[in-house]
Amino acid sequence: MSERRDDWERWQEDWRGGGAAPDARQLPLRLGRERRRLLLAAAAEAALALAACGGIVAALVHTPRGFDRRWGIAVLVMLAGSWAIAAWQRRRVDGRSLAAATESFAALARRRCRRQLRAVRLAWLLAALELAFLVPWWIDGYRVHGLGAGSALTWFAWWVPAAAILGLLAGTLGVRRRVRAELDQLDHLERLDRLDRPEAAPGTGRDTPDPDRL
């Protein structure tokens, strides 16, 4: 018992022998940078959504057929709805979960990750639907108008929406990779947490100074 007390006392002494308070004066700078980063991300998201919606609107103006028109409107509504939901979720960033206990924080973080993965899948579905709508219109438009690749109309109706879709795919692939890595880490934390419970099998989780990942 005294040996145990000695250990902790000695380590506490060593522990408190280091660590200088961080410089809080840098915080306003960092806060400003963070705000700018969030604004930039929101602006990029808005630009992507507007470009994707703009392509459909342009197509709708020139699409007299009933089925194509309804399809285009449905995709447009879904795109605009997804953008609105993403913007709304952005406002509720993990502020609440920050102060949660470790266990519930991990659960909240996992839920957030799964929600993000669902959003990525939805974005891919929307991109596929949009392409399915736009590609025939692009082909028809090329046949009817015969515009060159550099004309203003081609830029507006073709290149910008295509670039928006490609940007969306690239962005969502990055998000998916990052979220899956975060989920792996959270699963790892949960496994370690289970091993550390008193009811864990004897011999498991103890004295395991393996270089864990969290």
Partner 1 sequence: MDRFERVVREYGAALARLAAVYAPERGDRDDLSQEILLAIWRALPRFRGESSERTFVFRVAHNRGITYRSRRRRDAPPPPEKEGSAREVPDTSPDPAAQLERARRHERLVAAVSRLPGPQRLAVLLHLEGLSHREIAAVQGVTEENVAVRLTRARKALRRLLGQEYREMEP
What residue ranges bind partner 1 (CB under 8 A)?
A: 4, 7-8, 10-12, 14-22, 24, 26-27, 30-31, 34, 95-106, 109, 178, 181-182, 185-186, 188-189, 192-193, 195-198, 205-214
C-beta of 49 vs 189, nearer to partner 1: 189
C-beta of 135 vs 195, nearer to partner 1: 195
C-beta of 112 vs 127, nearer to partner 1: 112
Q: Which residue has the tokens 């040996």?
A: 3
> Cβ 106 to partner 1, closest distance in Å?
8
- How far from the centroid of its chain's Cα atoms is residue 58's Cα? 29
At 199, is the secondary structure helix, strand, or coil? coil
> Cβ 23 to partner 1, closest distance in Å?
8
C-beta of 12 vs 151, nearer to partner 1: 12
Q: Tell me if 137 sits within 8 A of 68, measured CB to CB.
A: yes
Residue 19: φ, ψ to 5°: 95, 115
Give CA–CA dist 214/212, Å, rounded: 6
Two tokens, residue 57: 């609107």
C-beta of 5 vs 65, nearer to partner 1: 5
CB neighbours of 127 closer than 8 A, spacing ≥ 6? 165, 168, 169
> Cβ 47 to partner 1, closest distance in Å?
25
> Cβ 170 to partner 1, closest distance in Å?
19
